[in-house]
Amino acid sequence: MAIIECEDITVRHPHAPTPAVSGLSTFVEQGEWLNIVGPNGCGKSTLLHAFAQVLSLESGRLKMGEGDVEKHFAFGLKAAKQRRFFARTVALMPQNPTIPAGLSVFDYVLLGRHPHSYAPGRADDEIVKRCLADLKLEHFSDRGLDELSGGERQRVSLARALAQEPRIVLLDEPTSALDIGHAQETLELIDAIRHRLGLTVIAAMHDLTLTAQYGDRVLMMNGGRKVFEGTAAEVLTAQRISEIYDARVIVEVIDGRPVVIPQRSH
Ligand SMILES: Nc1ncnc2c1ncn2[C@@H]1O[C@H](COP(=O)(O)OP(=O)(O)OP(=O)(O)O)[C@@H](O)[C@H]1O
């Protein structure tokens, strides 16, 4: 069953002269992992922000979970209630999260519980502790967010999104600040949670080899448009990567999954 249905959507940033995403259609099954790839500025974050209803649609139709996203763009008490409901369905891990000054790691991750509890209690604390433990962040619990490395902060941001216990998680370059070990560990954890809870995962990714290792399908974008969609083996060919990214690469296929190796020019 499709949990996301996206028909011909166009998204424009406020005051931008042209749309950042144009005429894009796709669907995502419940429990599926879709990776979005494409060069800098092609519209990956914009698409995730439209899925998260941070940006509204200029045109097209988008269904997330049970409801049409556009219906949530109202104001007042009813809209606030709808937003809380939506936040129990969809969590966004942004590329550059806004980190409130002076907040501890524990309290930041606890923010993820707000769509579930107006006044988070002991059960919420336990969920936060579990998410911190899953990401091996327990010992940072009392630390200030501004006292963490970039990679640690990125894992804390993921912990907050997971503490939200959403049905759909939108990850904007979730491993961009992580070393290879933490990147693998983090993606394995997301995959384990996906299988355990039927979580649907949409991730914007730059590392094409990791993209091929994790996820069921790949959507490749360029210039705000979808250019290819399919399995990693179908989408991530050397010719396509060189055309879209203007890159020199060799692609080896190991165990059915492409491994992308950059080549220097001389
Ligand atoms: N707030 C904004 N206002 C106007 N234009 C924006 C804004 N944010 C992004 N853009 C533009 O929208 C386009 C898509 O940007 P987006 O951040 O979605 O790309 P991306 O694929 O996520 O890029 P990257 O890989 O560099 O993170 C770009 O041309 C960018 O300059």
Q: What is the pLDDT of residues 198-237, one digit of tens each?
A: 999 999 999 999 999 999 999 999 999 999 999 999 999 9
In this prediction, residue 20 carries a pLDDT of: 98
DSSP state of 141: T
The closest-lying atom of ligand 1 relative to the alpha carbon of residue 38 is: 21
The closest-lying atom of ligand 1 relative to the alpha carbon of residue 221 is: 21
Q: Is residue 258 part of a domain?
A: no
Cα of 166 vs centre of ligand 1, distance in Å, is 25
In this prediction, residue 88 carries a pLDDT of: 83
Residue type for position 223: G
Q: What is the pLDDT of residues 114-127, one digit of tens each?
A: 888 777 788 889 99
Q: Which residues line ligand 1 (CB under 6 A)?
A: 13, 16, 20, 38, 40-46, 204
Where is 232: in which H helix or E strand? helix 232-235
Ligand 1 atom 17, closest CA:
45
Which structure tokens are listed for 187?
Answer: 């993606």
pLDDT-flagged residues of the chain (< 50): 71-74
Query: Which residue among 44, 47, 221 is best mutated to probe the pocket of ligand 1, counting the most ligand atoms within 8 A of its Cβ?
Result: 44
Task: Examine the domain organization and report whether 123 and 60 are in the same domain.
Answer: no
* Residue 156, burial from CB neighbour count under 10 angstroms (0-12, 13-18, 19+): buried
The closest-lying atom of ligand 1 relative to the alpha carbon of residue 16 is: 4
Task: Examine the domain organization and report whether 80 and 31 are in the same domain.
Answer: yes
Task: Examine the domain organization and report whether 192 and 153 are in the same domain.
Answer: no
Cα of 43 vs centre of ligand 1, distance in Å, is 6
Task: Give the domain range for residue 77.
Answer: 2-95+167-237
CB atoms within 10 A of CB 127: 21
Q: Is residue 245 part of a domain?
A: no
Q: Among the three residues 140, 165, 190, which one is the final residue of a domain in this structure?
A: 165
Name the 3-class secondary structure at 134.
Answer: helix
Cα of 40 vs centre of ligand 1, distance in Å, is 8
**Kind of pairing between the strands at 59-64 and 33-37:** unpaired
DSSP state of 46: H
Task: Examine the domain organization and report whether 175 and 138 are in the same domain.
Answer: no
